[in-house]
Amino acid sequence: MTIARETVMQALFDLLNTPGTYKTSSRRLKFWQDVAAQPALFVRHVGDEVMPRATRMPGKLVIEAEAWVYSKGGTDPDVAPETSLNLLLDGIEAAIQPAPAQEVQTLGGLVTHCWIEGKIELHPGDIGGQAIAVVPIRMLVPTLRGPAG
């Protein structure tokens, strides 16, 4: 099995970038003040963890990613500032859930498991109206060979 990091990262971006949800989306992070059209989604590859393996056993790699979400939901004084951000986070969590007949999210068979793990960093937009969330995502790749992404 030959899987490149780039293929996995693009599949994650495509999964999270739900049509009609985001006005701006990219795999290149921008500062929130440089993003005119929100809500916005940015997906970043932030690290790899090579797992120990026994002799003659296939290697395992955990690809670490972040989904950054921006929302101007805090600008409406009549609504709790994190309301729109919570809806966007619910959408990310729903996208990562496996299909009903599957036990885990596999990004179409590219990975053995894709999941959210760790603390989701939240800035709800109380001050200035800009809401930001950073969602840590991990993907287990059973074997990684071929060109590095």
Reported as a single tens digit per residue, the pLDDT across 53-110 is 767 766 788 999 999 999 997 778 888 888 999 999 999 999 999 988 889 999 999 9
Tell me, what amino acid is at 126?
D
pLDDT digit string, tens, across residues 5-25: 899 999 999 999 999 999 999
When computed from its CA atoms, the radius of gyration of the chain, rounded to whole angstroms, is: 17
Is 3.30.70.1700 the CATH number for 5-54+64-141? yes
The pTM (predicted TM-score) of the whole model is 0.88
Compute the distance between CA of residue 94 and CA of residue 7 in angstroms, rounded to an integer: 21
Q: Which two tokens stand for residue 7?
A: 């293929």
Are the C-beta atoms of residues 125 and 69 closer than 8 Å to each other? no
Predicted local distance difference test score (pLDDT) of residue 7: 93
